[in-house]
Chains A and B, each alone.
Chain A
Amino acid sequence: MYWNWKKGGVMLGLTFFLAVASIKPIGVSTQFVIADGIIAAALDPTLVQKDEKAKSGYTSTNAYLNKSGGKYAKSVAKPMNYSFVFVLSMFLGGLLGRLLTKKKPGSPVVRQIPGVHTRRFGNKFILRYSLTFIGGVIVLWGARLAGGCTSGHMMSGIMQTSISGYIFAVAAFLAAIPTALLIYKNSGSRNE
């Protein structure tokens, strides 16, 4: 149902190359900060303000949004920018991917609870949603501390032979493999 690794690998590689060639390397996790900033700025209009003295032309009362000359503050004030629209468009890509996938007759359109979860814990929606919520908190907090995620550090980083990319990838897999083995032990080996 999914592309084989040769076709998938070439398509993935071409996508990363096309992005660098036309504008800049792909990254995702920063846009979670921008989305938070847009919500927070709607509640508190003083959070981000125009400032001609700032490098970006915008300043923020929050130290993170204000770093690098107010780079993030500017993106919050002007959400119609390349990086934010790129990530929003990924939702559409996911939808198109699903719509164009050939399904075996009788299989669900979208499997809502992963098989590894069901085989380990049973068909428990609340537990699954709790795990993904906690996972989301840890993933994005960690990605922001690291300054990038799987896309920005691992893929775009190693592609450019960046030292931080290699080290990030090793750290992520060294933590992820034992965690997955521990939480999803006895989940069988099938990928149906």
Chain B
Amino acid sequence: MNSILLAILLGTLFGFVLQRIGAADPDKIINMLRLKDFHLMKTILTGIGVSSVLLFAAMATGLLDSGHLSVKSMYWGVVIGGILLGTGWAISGFCPGTGVVAAGSGRIDALIFLLGGLVGAGLYTLMFGVLKSTFLMQPLYGGKTTLVQTGEYQAVLTTSPGWAVAIAIGIALIGIGAALPGNSRNEA
């Protein structure tokens, strides 16, 4: 399929799903982070688990080529950047993707979040030349590393077959999601 058509279909689907699970609602995000409402946490854990089980099952049966994977590198910037993202996420109730979706659904505060995001990404773009030679960018754990054997990437656990361990982790994530308390009264 034409890749632009595919982008429109998948991007619209992703935005729609994020909106319908409540991820683009800052009340839902902030109440999850305040440990008051686990509905979204249950959804996210289930989502990661389901996608991981499907992915590794598809690779194990040869239906999917591991060339489709893209594992990101591990370095100090992931830790510091994660802390910063978490802080801004809690302040605003938006992350990059849900900010886009919330703006699309008509939220003005989300539109302002996106303007802030363009400023933040712009500042980083200007500062990268200085940052790139610092300790922040030094690879850790070998850079692009996975927990179980995943395609061509180096793995921490050499247990074979890797896909079976990955599927077990995926099922465990769904289990944790199911075990977390609570049905919010916002559900339908």
The chain A residues found within 8 Å of chain B, CB to CB, are 1-6, 8-26, 28-29, 32-33, 35-37, 39-40, 62-65, 67, 80-98, 100-102, 109-117, 128-129, 131-177, 179-181, 183-184, 187, 189, 191-192
Mark out the residues of chain B between 162 and 184 whose CB falls within 8 Å of any chain A CB in the assembled complex: 166, 169, 173-174, 177, 183-184
Residues A171 and B78 in contact, CB atoms below 8 Å apart: yes
Q: Which residue of A lies closest to B72 (CB)?
A: A164
- Main secondary structure on chain B at its contact with chain A? helix
What residues on A are CB-neighbors of B73 within 8 Å?
147, 164
Query: Can you show 5 pairs from A to B with CB atoms below 8 A apart?
Result: A92-B8, A141-B123, A142-B81, A142-B86, A147-B78
CB of B81 within 8 A of CB of A143, answer yes
> Cα distance A117–B54 when bound, in Å?
39
Given contacts A89-B7, A91-B103, A155-B51, contact A140 B141 (CB under 8 A): no
Complex: A136 Cα to B93 Cα, angstroms: 10
Residues of A within 8 A of B50 (CB): 9-10, 12-14, 17
Q: How far is the CA of A25 from the CA of B68 in the complex (A)?
A: 8
Contact A149 B96 (CB under 8 A): yes
Q: Which of these, B7, B55, B86, contacts A86 with CB under 8 Å? A: B7
| A157→B89 contact, CB < 8 A | no
Residue from A15, A92, A137, A167 whose CB has the most chain B CB atoms within 10 Å? A137
Q: Given A12-B47, A135-B89, is A65 in contact with B96 using a C-beta cutoff of 8 Å?
A: no
Contacts of A167 in B (CB 8 A): 74, 78-79, 82
- B51 and A17 within 8 A (CB): yes
* Contacting residue for A133 out of B28, B112, B129, B177, CB 8 A: B112
State in angstroms the CA–CA spacing of A159 and B53 once bound together: 8
A162 to B35, CA, bound (A): 26
Return chain A residues, CB-CB under 8 Å to B110.
132
Query: Once bound together, how far apart are the Cα atoms of A136 and B107, in whole Å?
Result: 14
B146–A97 CB distance below 8 A: no
Q: Is the CB of A12 within 8 A of B72?
A: no
Chain A residues, CB < 8 A from B141: 163
Nearest-neighbour CB distance to chain A for B79, whole angstroms, equals 5
Query: CB-CB < 8 A to A26: which residues of B?
Result: 10, 14
Mask, B21-49, CB within 8 Å of A = 1, is 11011111011011111011011111111
**B8 pairs with A147, CB closer than 8 A:** no
Q: Which residue of B lies closest to A30 (CB)?
A: B121
